[in-house]
Copies of this chain bind each other. A is one copy, B any other.
Amino acid sequence: MTEKNINTETIILNAARVVFQHKGFDGARMQEIADEAKINKSLLHYYYRSKELLFEAIFNEALLKFIPKISIVLSSDISLEMKVEAFVESYINMLIENPFLPGFVLNEISRNPEKIIGLILQLGVNPNKLDAILQKEIEQGKIKNISSKEFIVNLISMCVFPFIAKAIIQGFLFGNNNKEAQQFLLERKKSIPKFFMNAIKK
């Protein structure tokens, strides 16, 4: 009972994840999610009362995965360069496993910004820690003067954007060759930290 229960719920969530991430809230159809899960449509409403609630379950999970857990990397006792390397490596690995995540999350946020304000404040990211680290490095003359905001926005931009724009990059720069485009994304695990550290090192 409980096991079957959990199982069905997982099946539903997996199906909903696929459909919502590909089509967005407006484009997704409850029937399509039911088909994907190979269950009756009514069963969706049995476990999640409405499309809204089912979507929220998927979206919250996606948002948590999308928000990089920088603090873990930051608090480790390694050089800034290695921190950047470790962050990019783990974040791009996540993106390769969840290529539709960024587009999905960012799109739904901009479609409904008010809804996530609460979630964001709840998560409570503190840029202070990064601020302190950067300040020390700057004072020691190791890196150029850069704000933590620029630092984090530039780094995440270079990691995430190519995944959002993969189709267009693949079309324009790789003659629609999927393999080459995919390889390009992979290699960025190495090229981004190199590029990034060159930009800030003194």
A125 and B158 within 8 A (CB): no
With a 10 A CB-CB cut-off, give which of A27, A107, A113, A117 has the most chain B CB atoms.
A107
Among listed A10-18, A33-41, A51-59, A169-177, interface-contacting one = A169-177
- Using CB atoms and an 8 Å cutoff, list the residues of chain A in contact with chain B: 22-27, 67, 100, 103, 106-107, 109-111, 113, 116-117, 120-121, 125, 127, 144, 146, 149-150, 152-154, 156-158, 160-162, 164-169, 171-173, 176, 184, 191-192, 195-196, 198-200
Of B27, B144, B184, which is within 8 A of A111 by CB? Answer: B27
A144-B198, A150-B195, A156-B161 known, 20 other contacts, Cβ within 8 Å: A22-B111, A23-B26, A24-B26, A24-B27, A24-B107, A25-B27, A100-B110, A103-B110, A106-B168, A109-B167, A116-B167, A120-B168, A120-B171, A125-B172, A153-B162, A154-B158, A157-B162, A164-B164, A195-B199, A195-B200
Q: How far is the CA of A167 from the CA of B105 in the complex (A)?
A: 11
Contact B199 A196 (CB under 8 A): yes
Contact A176–B117 (Cβ < 8 Å): yes
**Interface residue SS majority, chain A:** helix
Report how far A125 CA is from B110 CA in the complex, Å.
Answer: 30
